[in-house]
Structure 1
Amino acid sequence: MSVLVLVVDDEPDVEALFRQQFRRDLRAQRFVMDFANSAADALSRIASSIGQSLILVLSDINMPGMTGLEMLPKVKEIRPEVPVIMITAYGDAETRRKALESGAQGLLTKPIDFAQLREEIDARLAPPGHGMNR
């Protein structure tokens, strides 16, 4: 079963940036990255990922249409077990509070610290007690 990380961001260059940062992991098939360019697109992908091991959703907050914060409770309805980390250019205390109160696991600010993000993904690839030896 593939292990999936979903990235939600309306900026077109985000996919290339993430693919470059995680190219070794993707090449080694440690996990699969999927990309959605809107909250609506993300929600349909999450709903259709029920058979996959979705371990993390990374979502921009500021997107046209539905924002990441508006999408968050809908993600939690479909897949309550999947952690969501919000990404924002504005890492102020109010944004952080809103994200965490809405059910986000955490908040990353742009530019993204990919070392920190890799740690987040690695921690979810080997959940305690699941004994996934790769």
Structure 2
Amino acid sequence: MTLGILVVDDEPDIEDLFRQRFRAELRRGELALHFASSAEEALQSLNTGLQPEAVLVLSDINMPGMSGLDFLQRLRAEAPQVPVIMVTAYGDSENRRRALDIGATELVTKPVDFVALKKLVQNVIVQKTAA
């Protein structure tokens, strides 16, 4: 079974970085990565349907237009069952508190520790598929 992850980030090199770091999981068919360069694009993708369906969202906080925190708030209203891990260069306590208060599963700081992120992603997916 292939599980979908939607990565939302306005940085153009994010797609290459995530494809490289999750290369083994992608090759084995365990994961499918979807990408959106804005919160608005992510909402549209989620509403029109991704294949395979996104079982997890990784979203940057600081993006032009709708911020990641605003996106999280909208997603909580529209799809409360989808876990969201917020990713930010600013891991200050205020961003962490706001993200968790709105409903983020976790907050990860940049530069991303991909070993830790993979463990976190695996834990979230195991919890989601067990529910």
Is the TM-score greater than 0.5? yes
- Superposition pairs for residues 1-134 of structure 1, below 5 Å? 2-49=2-49, 52-127=52-127, 130=130
CA RMSD of aligned residues (A): 1.8
Secondary structure of residue in 1 paired with 2:19: helix
- Letter in structure 2 aligned against 1:113: D
Q: Aligned equivalents of 1:53 and 1:90: distance in 2?
A: 29
Query: Structure 2: how far apart are the matches of 1:26 and 1:50?
Result: 16
Which structure 2 segments of 5+ residues have no match?
none
TM-score by length of 1: 0.89
Of all paired residues, the percent bearing the same amino acid is 48
Task: Please list every run of at least 4 consecutive aligned residues from structure 1 whose deviation after the TM superposition is greater than 4 angstroms.
Answer: none
TM-score (norm 2): 0.90
Counterpart-to-counterpart distance in 2, 1:38 and 1:63: 7
Deviation of 1:73 (Å)? 1.5
Question: What is the count of residue pairs matched by the alignment?
Answer: 130
- Between the aligned partners of 1:27 and 1:36, the Cα distance in structure 2 is 21
- Could you tell me which amino acid in structure 1 is paired with residue 102 of structure 2? S
Structure ranking higher in helix proportion = 2
